[in-house]
Amino acid sequence: MKTILVTGSNGLLGQKLTDLLKGNSKYNLIATARGEDRYPDKTGYKYVSLDIANPQEVEKILSIYKPDAVIHTAAMTNVDQCESDHAGCDELNVKAVQYIADACDKRNIYLTHLSTDFIFNGEKGPLTEDDQPDPISYYGESKLKAEQIVQAMKGKWSILRTVLVFGIVSDMSRSNIVLWVKNNLEQKKVIKVVNDQWRTPTLAEDLAMGCFLAVDKNAQGIYNISGADLLTPYDIAQHTAKFFSLDASLIEKADSSTFKQPARRPLKTGFVIDKAKRDLGYQPHTFEQGLQVLADQLKQV
Ligand SMILES: NC(=O)c1ccc[n+]([C@@H]2O[C@H](COP(=O)([O-])OP(=O)(O)OC[C@H]3O[C@@H](n4cnc5c(N)ncnc54)[C@H](OP(=O)(O)O)[C@@H]3O)[C@@H](O)[C@H]2O)c1
């Protein structure tokens, strides 16, 4: 039996990884996060508190549990917070990655690291793994530095880049576009949604499966793991309204320039996912199928 240790297990991806890996006959799961475990059903895996910003804790936990693989999901994921708190962003998104990479290298542990489309400048898309990063936000810069740390490892690693993840888990620390649109339209609120940005939105379950496939296949290198449908946030909102039978006339088109946000967002990203399909057997849901997965889970809440 092999052991996989997940960081950030309270997050959206972290909890979907717990869904996928708990009780697995081939893998033991060690789920780790800051503070208390927020995953609801605490059977079929072990939870250990791990603050990734603490290098002694990282060393200690990896030496006690000796995992075969680490899936590193934890990060400062709020793009605007990274813009206003450079030191905090460096701590979580860069320094902590160095602690984890060093601790993995010391013990020959395979590392899967999560990265983002925000390492690109948004001038072209959809992007392949070979396109040149050029971040336009502090978050993007920090995630690119993290990629460089992982790529310098002596041992085996994979970097999974993803885009605009959506889904639902319990006790979420932040929302995502589909839930935001659905909640606002249910409250009959008018929403302004940009139609000059392009993304390939990713169902959180598909991203978790991508992580699992990378570990299971001992994949080496960079992989784009996202949905396959290229949509604007406005399109996403329209599809979401239609799917949940909500009033789409409340959705207003907006231009990115009308939003005053601390961090710049790339206009055009989205990923070509052929490499992950070919090498890992990755097969994401369509965006519509993803909405159905989410709707089925909402019925159970
Ligand atoms: N979501 C997206 O649209 C998106 C897009 C591209 C790339 N990504 C990347 O995908 C990965 C997973 O994202 P996600 O959507 O699952 O994000 P998320 O829901 O925000 O989860 C991130 C988790 O990291 C945890 N964390 C923060 N600081 C920590 C620390 N010091 N020690 C341990 N855990 C800590 C957070 O804990 P708390 O819950 O306690 O705050 C949170 O649960 C990230 O690396 C992100 O950069 C995400």
Q: Assess if residue 137 is contained within a domain.
A: yes
Give 29's contacts (C-beta < 8 A, 6+ positions apart). 3, 4, 6, 17, 18, 21, 22, 44, 45, 46
Q: What CATH number is attached to the domain comprising 94? A: 3.40.50.720
- pLDDT value, residue 172: 83
Residue 301 has pLDDT above 80, yes or no: no
Output the residue whose Cα is nearest ligand 1's atom 6: 116
User: What pTM did the predictor assign?
Assistant: 0.98
- pLDDT value, residue 170: 86
77-81, 207-211, 254-258: least confidently modelled range: 254-258
Question: How many structural domains does the chain have?
Answer: 1
State which of 6, 73, 159 you would mutate to test the pocket of ligand 1, scoring each by most atoms of that ligand within 8 A of its C-beta: 73
Q: Assess if residue 299 is contained within a domain.
A: no
What is the enclosing helix (H) or strand (E) of 278? Answer: helix 274-280
pLDDT band at 14 (very low <50, low <70, confident <90, very high): very high
Q: Assess if residue 162 is contained within a domain.
A: yes
Q: What are phi and psi of 221, to 5 degrees?
A: 120, -165
> Ligand 1 mean position to 93 CA, how many Å?
10
State which of 7, 9, 13, 203 you would mutate to test the pocket of ligand 1, scoring each by most atoms of that ligand within 8 A of its C-beta: 13
Q: In this predicted model, what pLDDT tens digit does every residue of 215-247 receive, in sequence order?
A: 999 999 999 999 999 999 999 999 999 999 999
> Ligand 1 mean position to 163 CA, how many Å?
13
Output the residue whose Cα is nearest ligand 1's atom 1: 165
Full domain range(s) for residue 41: 2-169+201-230+269-285
- pLDDT value, residue 174: 84
Q: In this predicted model, what pLDDT tens digit does every residue of 282-291 receive, in sequence order?
A: 999 999 999 9
E-state strands within the chain: 2-7, 27-33, 46-49, 69-72, 110-116, 157-162, 165-166, 191-194, 202-203, 221-224, 251-254
